[in-house]
Amino acid sequence: MVWQLLTAPFEGLLWIAEQIEERATTELEKTENLQKRLTTLQLRLDLGDISEEDFVVQEQEILEAMQAEMDEQEQ
């Protein structure tokens, strides 16, 4: 019982650290996925798989998502 009382604060801090790590990893994966989508979109345009108009629309969506992600990280 005494041991549990002594280690409880450390276990709480460890849990908080794990939650922070999990959230940071999730945020990084979101950003990386958006960057990959943008690169893929550019390649599809270069290969002629999509039209310039489709590229512009999809690029704008991705850039807006990236901006929203950056705004969310700043808060």
Q: What is the pLDDT of residue 72?
A: 82
Q: Dump pLDDT digits (tens) for 7-27.
A: 777 888 888 888 888 888 887
Nearest of 17, 39, 24 to residue 69 by alpha carbon: 24
Looking at per-residue pLDDT, the higher value among 37 and 5 belongs to 37
Burial 10-44 (b: 16+ CB within 10 A, else e): eeeeeeeeeeeeeeeeeeeeeeeebeebbeebeee
